[in-house]
Structure 1
């Protein structure tokens, strides 16, 4: 009986991590786009959205 309870907890933790993965990926991509270390990219974004584009994110 205790083995089943333990696996229910493990399944719940696994499902929680799986549920949060898309949110985590979205956050990582947002941070990479904001601080992409290529000057050409930064110049492009400034040209498209203006010099204050970082403040809106």
Structure 2
């Protein structure tokens, strides 16, 4: 009998060994946010709130 931590997986159940199965995640349609340029990128001061 197998130990609790060494449970044998069911061969009929998918368990991460099948490489041809892909996840169906929808593509992100929102464009990326532009990156901060220059000194503002390297300073430790937080941005001012309006």
- With structure 1 as the length reference, what TM-score do the two structures score? 0.18
Name the structure with the higher helix share.
Answer: 1
Larger radius of gyration: 2
- With structure 2 as the length reference, what TM-score do the two structures score? 0.18
